[in-house]
Each structure stands twice: as structure tokens, then as C-alpha cells.
Structure 1
Amino acid sequence: MTVDRAELSLTLGVEIDAELLQLALTHRSYAYENGGLAHNERLEFLGDSILGQAVTVMLYTENPNLDEGELAKRRASLVSSVALAEIAVGIDLGSHVLLGRGEELTGGRQKASILADAVEALIGAAYLSVGPDAATALVLRLIDPLLNDPERFGAAMDPKTSLQELSTRVGKGLPQYVVTDSGPDHSKRFNATVLVGGDAVATGEGSSKKQAEMAAALAAWAVLQRPRR
């Protein structure tokens, strides 16, 4: 299976090397089911660093009156898995990701963690293809829609409290969390589902129960506040 490079490159506004683009969109589940192909986690590692630097420099230069704490809060909100997944949805990235059968059947194209990782991998691929300046420009284009939502900055720092306040304000009561875990004891993964008003609103993943609940809370906050914008 090959990626429609032209369509995605047009959306991104940058010409990424075809092999690197393929690699950036190859999830490990697909790689394992197809003979142990290379997958996107190394590119994700690279892209995470480039994303963080680009956002940090932008916030520092464009907000001379903000102190370190406020800058850190804004950076956290822009590089979170929820924010990156929102970016991915905006560019329909899920339709391009290469997934294994199991992930395909369990809604992998809508999973925030998979989408966020793919965004970071694309940034890494752009860096290797066209250099640091173009990769930074790509990051700034991708996060630009998020900058118009100032409420996001507070929610990213304390998502459970922010969700509780929002849920109460809209008359849905206190959120509830259901957490499951999987994997061996030395490498467990936790998955949290948050219910608001009795309805499952969002899920989150993490290496601890706390991380999973925070990810789910931030995703649910984004869902609940969207109609109010």
C-alpha cells in the first residue's frame, strides 16, 4: 500500500520525500503485520523535538510580557496529544495512516494517540526532507488554528479540574472515569474513558492511570466546549 503523496503534500504545503512520507504514516501495527517493516516511531521522536522547539521560540518571541509559567502553560496546550489529534482531524490525516487489522477494527483512525504520533512523525519527515526552516514553518501552520482558542491554555495545565468546572457549568454534573490496563507489569498501558452526564465522551491513554485520566479529561473538555465557541 502506498500513500497518496500529492494530496497530503498539498494539504501540508510542503513536499516531503516519498519514502519518508510513507514511513511517517506507517503505524507499528501495520509494520508488524507486514513482515516487520520500519514504522514511524523514530520519526515521531525527532518530530516531537522539532515541534517543541518551534512552539517554544514562537511563544517566546510573540509574547514578551508573559512570564515563564504562562509560556510553559501555553506550550503544553499546543503540543499535547489532544491538540495534535485535533490538528490531525483538521487535515484528515487519519485516512492516510497505515494501520494493522486490529487497530483498523478498533477505530485506530480516530485514536488521539495514533493521530498525534503521526503528526509528530510528519514533522520529523519534513525536517529531513526540506530542512529546519520549512519544518518550523509547517509546525506554525499546523498550530495556527489552535492559537485562536485562549481557553485551551488553562485546560491543558489542569484538565480534570477544567473538565469538572465545564461539566458542572453546563448542567451535566461531575465527570466519572473508567480505567483499564493492558500489557505486562513492567510496561503497562492505561486507557481511561470519561463519562459526562452518563455518556462516554472521550478516551485517553498513558503509562499511568493519572496520565490516562488527564488525557481523557482534556479530550472531553475539547468536545464539550466546542459547540460553545
Structure 2
Amino acid sequence: MFKARKYKALEKRLGYRFKNEALLARALTHASLRGSKKVLEDNERLEFLGDRVLGLAIVERLEETCPAATEGELARHLNRLVRGETCAAVGRSLGLGEFLMLSESEAGSGGRLKATILADAVEAVLGAIFLDAGYNKARDVVHRLWEAEEASFGHAAADPKSALQEWAQAQGLALPSYVEVERTGPDHAPSFTTEVRIKGKAPARGQGTSKRAAEQAAASAMLEREGVTEKRPVG
């Protein structure tokens, strides 16, 4: 008698059918079930593998679609496409939460909607596809599922503070910190000078009529100095 595939709907959304369905089941098994008599393995090792598969697939895609991009621009795009928020968005688009296997306490606390759990599960699924069929199949799934994310990032430039943080993370640097070094002018028309600092890099300064504007200007100055963005013409 034919046995219906447990994850048929999810496989359809992924655009991939597993030869070994047990791999997909493992990818959907959260660590909260670790130690359960019914669970031998959770998805953490698959998540570790899938993270590397995703990074390589996105780098390959960026190399193809952004031939004129600088190293800094490529690093910024890569960071935005592989970060947890993006993976979680892909997981939500797949309806992955409904397929997750969680402990009762984790499920009861809204675990099926948690961004970190969804992001980890997406990476684990990619790792499972890699083991089931190899890199090329996993890459094809990444390119298909990330198509909308690539398009949205291509048209929406990050603000300077966000771009600087993404660049620093991609370079393995400490996160930027901002220090107000001067405030001048009357209360109704103040002028702020702010310094942005990243360990291992010379600080950069910016000015603005608000603290936020000064911080954005400082971030922009550092991005320009480091060659991540081009200097804006004056006038």
C-alpha cells in the first residue's frame, strides 16, 4: 500500500524531493527535543553544514550578478543575504514553522514563529539537501528561494549606520560605537559632532543637526574612507 510522504507539501514549496526523507525530518528537529527517547539527532550539525552551503551559493550568485561590485559591496550584500533575519524570512515564506518538531515547552512559547529557530531550520534543510543530492542541487534551491531577497536588496541601499555595521561584521571586526564629541549652537538650532569607532580602525567624524544625523554622517565618512562606498560629490 502506498505511504503518503509526510513532507510532500514542504518539498513542493522547496522545489526539491528528498531521496532520504529521514534527512529532512532531522533538519526539522529542534534541539529542544535533545534527550527525548523518540529523537536520536537534532538539526544542529545540519545547520552548521547548511550555513556553509548557503554562503558559497550566495557568493557564487553575487559573482554572477554583480560583476562590477567592489569587494566591500560584495561583502555587504553577502552579509545581508545570509543573516538570520533573511533566513527567517525565507523560512516564513515556506511555512516552515508548521513542520518543525519542537518540545512542548518550546512550541508553547511560540517557537514555531521565532526568527532564530526558523533561520536555523532553513540552514539545516539546505544542509540536508546537500547530503541528499550534492552541492549543485542545494545551490539551485538557494538561488530559487533567495530570488526575492536578492531583488529587494538590489533596490534598497542600507543607511550608512546599517551598512557600516554589516561591513564590519563581514570583515570580522568589532561592532561600531558612536561617541558625541562636541555640541555647539543654541538649543533651538544645535550642531552635533560624533565620532564612530571600530577597534583596529582609525575613528571617523561626522556633523549634523541631530545626534542621529551626526552618527549617519560619521558612518558615511568611514565607509568612504575604507572604500566601501564612493565619496559623494559636493554641490
Normalised-by-shorter TM-score class: 0.5 to 0.7
AA aligned to 1:103 is E
Residue 156 to residue 141, structure 1, CA distance change in 2 (3 Å): farther
Instruction: Quote the residue 1:134 is aligned against.
Output: 137
Instruction: Note if 1:96 corresponds to 2:99.
Output: yes
How much is the aligned-residue C-alpha RMSD, in angstroms? 2.2
Residue 85 to residue 147, structure 1, CA distance change in 2 (3 Å): same
AA aligned to 2:57 is A
User: Structure 1, unaligned stretches of length 5 or more?
Assistant: 162-229
Counterpart mapping for 1:141-220 below 5 A = 141-150=144-153, 151=156, 155=162, 158=165
Q: What percentage of aligned pairs have identical amino acids?
A: 37
* Larger Rg, first or second structure (1 or 2): 2
Instruction: Quote the residue 2:188 is aligned against.
Output: none
AA aligned to 1:10 is K
Deviation at 1:15, TM superposition (A): 1.2
Deviation at 1:90, TM superposition (A): 0.6
Superposed CA deviations along residues 14-38 of structure 1, whole A, max 9, x for unmatched, are 1122110110000011233445521
Instruction: Quote the residue 2:68 is aligned against.
Output: 65
Contact 1:76–1:156 (8 Å) recurs in 2: no
Residue 152 to residue 36, structure 1, CA distance change in 2 (3 Å): farther
Residue 110 to residue 42, structure 1, CA distance change in 2 (3 Å): same
Counterpart mapping for 1:20-59 below 5 A = 20-34=23-37, 37-59=40-62
CA distance in 2, matches of 1:152, 1:32: 45
Contact 1:25–1:97 (8 Å) recurs in 2: yes
Superposed CA deviations along residues 57-77 of structure 1, whole A, max 9, x for unmatched, are 110121111000000000000
Superposed CA deviations along residues 122-144 of structure 1, whole A, max 9, x for unmatched, are 00000111111111000111111
User: Structure 2, unaligned stretches of length 5 or more?
Assistant: 167-174, 177-235
Which of the two has greater helix per residue?
Answer: 1
Residue 37 of structure 1 aligns to a residue whose secondary structure is coil
Deviation at 1:111, TM superposition (A): 0.8
Instruction: Quote the residue 1:107 is aligned against.
Output: 110
Question: Aligned pair count?
Answer: 160
TM-score, with structure 1 as normaliser: 0.65
Instruction: Quote the residue 2:201 is aligned against.
Output: none
Instruction: Quote the residue 1:76 is aligned against.
Output: 79
CA distance in 2, matches of 1:87, 1:47: 14
Instruction: Quote the residue 1:195 is aligned against.
Output: none
CA distance in 1, matches of 2:51, 2:24: 16
Aligned with 1:9 (options 11, 35, 56): 11
AA aligned to 1:32 is G
AA aligned to 1:6 is K
Residue 129 to residue 36, structure 1, CA distance change in 2 (3 Å): closer
